[in-house]
Amino acid sequence: MAARRTEAPWAHSYGAFVKLALAVLLIRLAFAVILGSPIPGTHTLLTLPELPLPDWAEGIRIGGRVTAEGLTFALYDGLKLATLLICVGAANALANPARLLKSLPGALYEAGVAVVVALTFAPNLIADVQRLRAARRLRGRPDKGLRGLLQVGLPVLEGALERSVSLAAAMDARGYGRTADVPRTVRRTTAALTLGGLVGVCAGTYGLLTAEGGSYGLPVLLAGLAAALGGLWLGGRRSLRTRYRPDAWGVRAWLVAASGAAVATLLILYASYTPSNSEALHPGVVPLTAPTLPLWPAAAILLGLLPAFVAPAPENTRKEPS
């Protein structure tokens, strides 16, 4: 990510996502210590004073015995969510909202606008907080603690509201929301294909994940994908927008997309090959054993580093020819 990050405002939000992931991990461990864990354990680390609760709160405890198995389970559970937050932060720091919206098919343009605005809200919010904190430091005012947070929060929310109103006015001035006049049969066919395709994708995915659906899972998934793509193609006929200088999808783009798909495919195949492989990717805590490092999944994850070498360098980091 550091090799292909630009100087855009949203590219400086990755550190905040990492701090948020660490906070989530610490909160999960704190909950396991204070509220206990449903995982039975025999290795007691410490025993906290237990607060007696009424009968209607049966099954809930505050304090008590803290085991190594419960803390390890909480650590694994918190690491999953922390990893998701770090991945989302990396995507927010690298993705260009304008290019992302321009690359969407016409049928997903309205939904894509909402998704892009949602994805860019957190980075822009973090950039506003950093800018206001720097301004307060230059003026000799406190920027930390509860007082600094309260004095920074109101201008940040006010700026977010003004940005939303400006975006709505700009979209209205550019004729956003206009659709072409298509026959009613085309609209009904589009809705049927899209809805049926999504149902087929869900049913096919469920079949692939269960042992009973191994025979019908893949055909239903492929049929659902075909129907959904057909619905998206028909839905794109309602969009009147044009693309100015569309991005070229070249060899580098294919390599970047293929690297992510290859990592996901190899991990899924490794986990579904034998039950022992699945246990290696999801280590248990009862009995408490040290996790192992499977060789093939670790090598497959290294394919995710391919975009750092094949993706084009940002324009603001390219060197001028001498």
pLDDT tens figures, 47-69:
888 888 777 777 677 888 888 88
Model confidence at 276, pLDDT cuts 50, 70, 90, reads low
More confident residue, 191 or 178: 191
Q: What is the pLDDT of residues 148-176, one digit of tens each?
A: 666 777 777 777 767 766 766 776 676 66
Confidence of residue 24 (pLDDT cuts 50, 70, 90): very high
Is residue 122 predicted with pLDDT exceeding 60? yes
CA atoms within 13 A on the CB side of 221: 12
pLDDT for position 27: 93
| Cis peptide upstream of residue 287 (ω within 30 degrees of 0) | yes
Rounded mean pLDDT of 176-203? 78
pLDDT exceeds cutoff 90 at 317 = no
Interatomic CA distance for residues 158 and 136, integer angstroms: 17
Q: Pick the more confident residue, 197 or 179.
A: 197
The pLDDT value recorded for residue 268 is 77
CA-based R_g, the chain, Å: 25
At 21, is the pLDDT very low, low, confident or very high (cuts 50, 70, 90)? very high
Please return the burial class of 315, using the count of CB atoms within 10 Å of its CB with bins 0-12, 13-18 and 19+.
Answer: exposed
What's the pLDDT at 208? 73
Q: Residue 169: phi, psi to the nearest 5?
A: -65, -40
Query: For a pLDDT cut of 70, what percent of the chain falls above it?
Result: 70
Q: Please, how many CA atoms are within 13 Å of residue 224, restricted to the half-sphere of its CB? A: 19
Q: Which residue has the higher pLDDT, 29 or 55?
A: 29
75: pLDDT strictly greater than 60: yes
pLDDT of residue 238: 65
